[in-house]
Amino acid sequence: MLDMTDLVGVTFWIISAAMVAATYFFTVERDRAEGKWKTSLTVAALVTGIAAIHYFYMRGVWIDTQQSPIVFRYVDWLLTVPLQIVEFYLILAAIAVVRAALFWKLMIASLVMLIFGFLGEANLMNYWVGFIIGMAGWLYIIYEIFAGEASQISAAQGTEASKTAFNALRLIVTVGWAIYPIGYIVEPSMGAGALNIVYNLADFVNKIAFGVVIWVAATSSSRSTA
Ligand SMILES: *C/C=C(C)/C=C/C=C(C)/C=C/C1=C(C)CCCC1(C)C
């Protein structure tokens, strides 16, 4: 049972509902998007749909044990973060010819970030060593989208809609994603409850707002060309 005073459990519940609603929204709105943007909206719906399923289970783990659902959390991230990396690639591939190597660089960096974060959080390796290696993966992604090949392609060949989407997504990857390492840092002193509230809030921003950014670009681009 979900207890009224269980704030962490309540946030799990609210985010579950929001993920389901967002999935429905992106799926239905796909009809309004212009051709090449349709796939981006499909991927946005996959991200929130996969998260919804994991949130149902994570809520159960929390309510039963009052402990972090670490495995469900990282399985969810392992599926949804690569899909969000795919979004960057799709946005660029819609406007330019993009080398597959760029995709793999971003993908590998995101896997380093998640795998070492998991090893640290699950205490399968030193907590802070896992954190630092995970941080290196994230910082590499930030470098790539602000100064590397991805940013150069967007700046040189982007359309107005694609540039707006690219710039908003990189803001999410920098500011929105920063919420996760903050959760990781507060865990040792503030406990599993604080960690899960921070992660839940972060997922709300980074999965739903992320999809909304794509939805705005997808529907504005179809208006301007209609
Ligand atoms: C939908 C889920 C998303 C967007 C999850 C993103 C997760 C991160 C950006 C995690 C970052 C971490 C680090 C940068 C350092 C190591 C600890 C992590 C895994 C929490």
Predicted confidence (pLDDT) per residue in 138-152, tens digit: 999 999 999 999 899
pLDDT over threshold 60, residue 19? yes
Q: Is the CB of 73 under 6 A from ligand 1?
A: no
Residue 138: Cβ-neighbour burial (10 angstroms; 0-12, 13-18, 19+): buried
The pick from 79, 113, 201, 210 for probing ligand 1's pocket by mutation, whose C-beta has the most ligand atoms within 8 angstroms, reads 113
Each residue of 26-81: pLDDT tens digit?
999 999 998 888 999 999 999 999 999 999 999 999 999 999 999 999 999 999 99
- Going by the DSSP 8-state scheme, the letter that residue 175 receives in this structure is I
Is residue 133 within 8 Å of residue 124, measured between CB atoms? Answer: no
Q: Could you tell me the distance, in angstroms and rounded to a whole number, from the CA of residue 203 to the centre of ligand 1? A: 10
163-215 pLDDT, tens digit each: 888 998 899 999 999 999 999 999 999 999 999 999 999 999 999 999 999 99
Where residue 92 falls among pLDDT bands split at 50, 70, 90? confident
Is the C-beta atom of 110 inside 6 A of ligand 1? no
The closest-lying atom of ligand 1 relative to the alpha carbon of residue 80 is: 1
Nearest CA to ligand 1 atom 19: 117
Beta carbons of 196 and 68 less than 8 angstroms apart = yes
How many beta carbons lie within 10 A of that of residue 108, not counting itself?
13
Beta carbon of 131 within 6 Å of any ligand 1 atom: yes
3-state secondary structure of 197: helix
| 1: confidence class by pLDDT, cuts 50, 70, 90 | confident
Sorted by where each starts, the structural domains of the chain and their CATH numbers stand as 7-225 (1.20.1070.10)
How high is the pLDDT of residue 220? Answer: 85
Residue 226's pLDDT is what?
40
Contact call for residues 192 and 66 (beta carbons, < 8 A)? yes
| Spatial distance between the Cα atoms of 160 and 171, rounded to a whole number of angstroms | 17
With beta carbons less than 8 A apart as the criterion, state whether 137 and 109 touch: yes
Q: Is the CB of 112 under 6 A from ligand 1?
A: no
81 lines ligand 1 (CB under 6 A): yes
Look at residue 160 and tell me whether its pLDDT is greater than 90.
Answer: no
Token pair for 32: 């309004």
Name 38's Cβ contacts closer than 8 Å, sequence gap at least 6: 30, 218
Report, as an integer, the average pLDDT of 219-226: 63
Rg (CA), the chain: 18
Q: Is the pLDDT reported for residue 224 higher than 60?
A: no
**pTM exceeds 0.85 for this model:** yes
- CA distances to 24, 58, 59, 78, 95 from 108, rounded to whole Å, are 30, 26, 30, 12, 23
- Give pLDDT tens digits for 177-189: 999 999 999 999 9
